[in-house]
Amino acid sequence: DTGVSQDPRHKITKRGQNVTFRCDPISEHNRLYWYRQTLGQGPEFLTYFQNEAQLEKSRLLSDRFSAERPKGSFSTLEIQRTEQGDSAMYLCASSFRAGGGTDTQYFGPGTRLTVL
Amino acid sequence: GDSVTQMEGPVTLSEEAFLTINCTYTATGYPSLFWYVQYPGEGLQLLLKATKADDKGSNKGFEATYRKETTSFHLEKGSVQVSDSAVYFCALSDKFGNEKLTFGTGTRLTIIP
């Protein structure tokens, strides 16, 4: 098991361009979360999937953001018409939820986005 | 909504000193509580967790006790090492919801030899 992976690790783009990030969760993890972290702050929840279903989206997630998890495995996060305020670290986490108890989220290394 | 308030940093200590990082929370339900650590150049790692009142989480010499009466989950270590230098995040999740994590702002800890 290689852990959660994210690609790319760094992305520099110009304002107005579209970007897409990929997250590969730990295999057999049925939950996948996206968070955003800005400098000096803790991560903030963006959205989450249980298998292929997107079950919740934060108010932080404007309509320029879209996330998918086709087939319930990897996930993509797309930002359209990027703005300078989108510059942040985008974190992906996965967990396995089965019945009761508290699942532990395992985080990937993140994708650092810089919008010029 | 749920929130986490964390001791502001940065915190600088000498090696072998006692560490406390304060964390208090506000939650409407019955949250689980976590401490995550981010070492330089690495991703977030779970350090310890507690899922109900009076539970104590522990790992690598760090401890934190879930105190419902004071809504706190303070992180402690008896003798810190240089290798403990990192950013520490307190977080909670609503175990009856989607279990998304709500994080504090983080505390940067630097240990000097």
B51 vs B63 pLDDT, higher one: B63
**Range A4-16 average pLDDT:** 96
Picking from A76, A85, A90, A75, the residue whose alpha carbon sits closest to that of residue A36 is A90
Nearest to B46 among A35, A104, A110 (CB): A104
- The answer on pLDDT for B113 being more than 70 is yes
Place of tokens 């560490």: B19
Residues from chain B contacting residue A45 (CB–CB below 8 Å): 100-102
Residues from chain A contacting residue B45 (CB–CB below 8 Å): 107
With residue A106 as reference, give the H or E element that holds it.
strand A106-107
pLDDT tens for B86-100 read 999 999 998 666 688
Burial environment of residue A35 by CB neighbours within 10 A (0 to 12, 13 to 18, 19 or more): buried
Which residue on chain A is closest to B50 by alpha carbon? A102
Task: Establish whether the linkage from the previous residue to A70 is cis, with ω within 30° of 0.
Answer: no
Tell me the nearest-neighbour CA distance from B92 into chain A, angstroms: 11
Task: Check: CB of residue A69 under 8 Å from CB of residue A57.
Answer: no
Are B103 and A42 inside 8 Å of each other by CB? yes
> In this structure, which amino acid lies at residue B103?
F
A115 vs B7 pLDDT, higher one: A115
**What pLDDT is stored for residue B8 in this prediction?**
83
DSSP secondary structure string, chain B?
--EEEE--S-EEEETT--EEE-EEEE-SS-EEEEEEEE-TTS-EEEEEEE-STT-EEEETTEEEE-BTTTTB--EEESS--GGG-EEEEEEEEETTTT--EEE---EEEEEE-
Picking from B95, B92, B89, B113, the residue whose alpha carbon sits closest to that of residue B7 is B89
Share of chain B above pLDDT 70, in %: 96
Task: Check: CB of residue A103 under 8 Å from CB of residue A95.
Answer: yes
Share of chain A above pLDDT 90, in %: 79
B14 vs A101 pLDDT, higher one: B14
Find residue A45's DSSP bridge partners.
Answer: A35
Picking from A91, A82, A89, the residue whose alpha carbon sits closest to that of residue A113 is A89
**Contact residues of A toward B, CB < 8 A:** 4, 31, 33, 35, 40-45, 48, 50, 55-56, 91, 93, 95, 97, 101-110
**What pLDDT is stored for residue A101 in this prediction?**
61
Under DSSP, is residue A26 helix (H, G, I), strand (E, B) or coil?
coil
In chain B, what is the straight-line distance between the N-terminal and C-terminal CA atoms, in Å? Answer: 41
| A106 confidence band (pLDDT: 50, 70, 90) | very high
Tell me the nearest-neighbour CA distance from B7 into chain A, angstroms: 13
Q: In what order do the strands lie in the sheet with A5-7?
A: A5-7, A19-24, A75-79, A65-68
- The answer on pLDDT for B43 being more than 90 is no
CA distance B24 to B67: 9
